[in-house]
Every structure is written in structure tokens, then in C-alpha cells.
Amino acid sequence: MRIRSLSVISALVLPVALYAAGASTALFSHFDYKGSDDYYAENPLTAPTQLYNPILPGWNSDPSICRTGNDYWLVTSTFGYFPGIPLYHSTDLVNWSLIRNVLDRPSQLPFLKGQSLDKGGIYAPHISYNPQNGRYYVTATDTGLKEGHFYVTATDPAGEWSDPVWLKGIDGIDPSFFFDDDGKAYIVYKEDTTGKPRWSNYRCIRFIAFDTATGQTTGESWPLNEAGVAPHEHLERDEGPHIYKIDGTYYLLCAEGGTSTNHSAVIFKADNIRGPYHRWGRNPMLTQRGLKDKRSNPVTCAGHADLVQTPEGDWWAVFLGCRPGPGKFQALGRETFMMPVQWSGDRYPYITQCEDTVPMVLDRPGAVRIDSMAMQGNFGWHDDFTTPSPRPEWMSLRGSIADRIATGNGTLSLQCSPEPSTGKGVPSYLGRRIQHHKFEAATEVRFNPRNEKELAGLMILKNEGAQYFLAVGKGSVSLHRIGRKGRDVLASVPLRSNKKAVGLKVVSDGINYTFSFNDGNAWQCLADKVDASHVACERTGGFTGATIGLYAEQTD
């Protein structure tokens, strides 16, 4: 790692009137992000019906999708981040936009504090539509609570969603609704498996009736009644269950094999909601396990799928997967991919078989790609903070920081907080998903700290114990590597300009980071060849990808 030193001048100075009493405030003028992955550069799309896979790049795990008319609605997990459960919209399965977050009020997420950022919080949301009452339902699990299953509803998905309704009578994780065409409703979920056989043909999926009038479960739950049990494979238990009724037949789709490279999806079918369910003899209906590690542009960990039918009658699947980077690791987390569904001769749906690979380019006949829409290829993203509140891409940790930020008129102000990024509270951090292995991100900050204990700048954050912080302090700019065992200052140089904003930038080549700053004259390299695997998923564990954004702290 190369470190550059500069001569000392003085700290940045801003008018005292900018600050409220107490902690100092950092003023950010913009945030820019631009992807530069090799695959996109080397494989330009050649037809307007083509699109890149993943359809939602960057951490968007556990996707669930539903359609009403020509509108597709898709949600993904957020674990310990606020706001919770992003809601994406499309009219053609090709062009997607982030409309809002389902859980965007503190009253909807008052329970994340104290939980692990990437292992606690909101798991596996499921979105569905009940034509009997015209309401959309999103249900999920908060794993930090004893009774952690809840749902929220809306008549317009793009509008405001209700406060949570907590479900009774079920345990475990991963609930999803099924509204039958006879007016009856059910919830299917993975039960609590504590003390149950780990390696057996036991599938641990349960069903329970749901009363839409009372908004609660009713009666006793019952287990998956399965016929044709598959051979013993020593795979992790089934989870993430979804039910569909297609041409009078009930289909049960589950994730299986854990969340790593053995991940998969399996399919069952039955003539009755209560079973018996026949497991497809050619399962898994989706996986990438067993394929050669050295294949080009591999997608790994494929599983946790959901199915949707187009108005034309075709079926498509969304599912999660991972893209290892040039260093064979990645900080993107589990992303949302899409593939067409095929049907076997015995009428089971499937996505891959044998050595089928997840493609990086898809063709969606009848749709037209809009290149100006985000999330396709090496796109760029810019925020000049002119909106009255942060855009829906921005997230904080475990709760709202609305009392510490203000945005509009081309500036975002962020107040320093004594709550550390390494704790389990709500620090002054505002981040967005990293969506490429190779990328550049930059911002500009005006900051007048009162002392050496106040810092503000650009942060890359995977979890409580894996972070990089490019910080402006009192008279200096420094790079901090934050880990489980503490904090190391990798580089520090004096600032040489006075009363000027400081530009901060990080460039990733997929293996290393280069951190730079500009205090008035030109960009200066502060440190290069900084190990990107410090925030990689393979090294840190957990269920999220890394985010990048703005951070302001006031240490003890």
C-alpha cells in the first residue's frame, strides 16, 4: 500500500452559524457513483429486447414478486437497515425502478436497535395481492423478536403501507401468503427447527389458515404432507416457501441447501392444499452447485426463487445469486436474477437442470429496454441533494437518522453522533448499495470539527466489524480500517487549504481500493492497493452486501 504525505496548512473553517449547539455538522454537496465492470464493457447489449442479469445488481436478496394487470412489484430483504424492504416496479420485467421502501416510518421498524446489522432484522419479505379485498400484503420476519412475524397492507403499492400487524400462532421464519380462488387464505412458513433432526427427509414446512376478516391465523397449523420423499442428501432444511395454484394444481416452491454454494430451489405439487405433495424427481429445479468453479462469469449460490406469470401467459422466475469478482470474492452480496420458467413433461416448473448456467444476458421478447433507466450495465448514479428528503436508495443502520440530517438546496447536512458504526445502535451513516465489483464513488464535504474526536467523510460498510472510513478531521484527512479488533489508521496527511470543501473518492478494481482526496487544487492519492476483501462477503459472513455512503462521528 502506497501512502502520500502533504505539508500542513490548517483545518477547514465554516461559519459558526451553520452548527447547532453540541456536535458539529458535515455538509455534503453531492454523491456520485459509477460502475465499470469488465463484463458489461466487453459484452454490450445488441438488441432492444436484451437485458443484463442480475436485474437488480448489488445486495437485493430473497426476492419476491407479484403482478396485477401490467404492473410487477418486487421486494427484497433489508435485515438491519432502515428503511426496510425496498419496493421495485416494472411494467415489462426489463426496466425496473425503486419506487419506495415499504417500511419507511419509525413506527413500522421500532425494533432493530441492538440487532446484528447483517444477521438480524428483516428476513425474506413476501409480496402478494388478494383480489377478494383488493389489498396488497407484504409479510416478513423480524428475527430479533419472539413473535417476529408481521404483515403490512396497502391498496396502492406505490403509496403508504400500514403499520405492522403481528401474526399469532406461527413460529420460525419466512412466512408467505396464499390467497386461493375460493376465497380462502393460508400462510406457509418454515417452522422452528430447534431440536428437530438436522439431516433427514424432514422438510419443516408448515401451513396455517388465515382469516382476512380478522387479520389473524385461525385453527391449528399442519406440516408438509409429502409423498415421494427424495433420497437423503445432507442438505440444509427447506425454507422460503411459496404456494401457487396453476390450472387447478397446487405447487409449493422452497429454498433448500442453505444460503451458500449448495443453495437451490425445489418444487412440489399436490391436488389439495393439504397435500400430499409430490416432490419432483428431477429436483432441484434451480441450482448452480456442482458446476465447475473455473467457468467464465460464474453465478453461484442460486436459490430462493419466486414465480410470476405475464399477461401473455408465460412464466418467469426471480431468484437470488452471487457474482464472484476478479479476486474470486465479492462485496455485492446476494443479487436478484431472473430467468424464464420451463415445464417438464409431467408438469413441474423448472429454471435450470444439470449443467445449465445462469446467463448474464437475457432476451425478453416484446419488451424494450430503456437505457437511461438505472440498474443496467455500467450505469452511473448522482444525487445533488435537491429533494426535501433522502432518495429511497439511501439507508441508515437500525433506525431513522431524520433528527440528524437535512437535505435540499444542493446540500445534505449530517450531524456527528457518538453512536459508533461498530456498535448496534443508530450511527450517523447514510449509505447505498455497492452494485459493481469495479466502481468509483465520490463526494465533497465541508466540515469544521471542534476537536480531533470529530470526523466526517466517505465510508464503505459491510457490518459492525468490516469497514473503511475516508475521513476529514481537524486539519487532516485520514483512512481508517475498522475491524472486529479495533481501528487502524492506514494513512493520514495534513490538509493544505483553508475554508474549502474537500473532495473524497474511492476507486475499486475489484481486488483493491484506491482512496484519494482533493482539498482545492487536484486529486491526491492518500492510499492505494488497499485490500478490498476486508469487506467481502466470503470473509465477513452475514446476509447483506456492502454499502457505501456518508458518515459523521464524535468519538469519546
Which residues are the active-site residues? 62, 239
Q: Which phi and psi angles does 442 have, rounded to 5°? A: -150, 155
d(CA 342, CA 356): 12
Which cell numbers hold the place of 35?
Answer: 460502475
User: ∠ CA(334), CA(339), CA(341), 5° rounding?
Assistant: 130
SS3 annotation, 104-160: CCHHHCCCCCCCCCCCCCEEEEEEEEECCCCEEEEEEEECCCCCCEEEEEECCCCCC
In angstroms, the Cα distances linking 357 to 337, 538, 552 are 12, 21, 43
Q: Which of 472, 265, 453, 232 is nearest to 349 (CA)?
A: 265
CB neighbourhood size of 106 (10 A): 12
d(CA 269, CA 282): 13
* Bridge partners, residue 98, by sequence: 88
Secondary structure (3-state) at 42: helix
d(CA 511, CA 535): 11
**Which long-range contacts link 495-498 to residues 24+ away (Cβ below 8 Å)?**
495/6, 495/8, 495/9, 495/10, 495/11, 495/12, 495/519, 496/6, 496/7, 496/8, 496/9, 496/520, 497/9, 497/12, 497/521, 498/9, 498/10, 498/11, 498/12, 498/13
d(CA 408, CA 392): 15
Which cell numbers hold the place of 115?
Answer: 440487532
Answer yes or no: are the C-beta atoms of 75 and 137 closer than 8 Å. Answer: no
Answer yes or no: are the C-beta atoms of 101 and 122 closer than 8 Å. Answer: no
- The two beta strands, 438-446 and 25-35, are antiparallel
E strands along 310-363, which residues? 315-322, 335-340, 342-343, 349-350, 361-363
In angstroms, the Cα distances linking 72 to 18, 27, 105, 197, 280 are 44, 38, 24, 39, 28
Q: Which of 515, 546, 331 is nearest to 431 (CA)?
A: 546
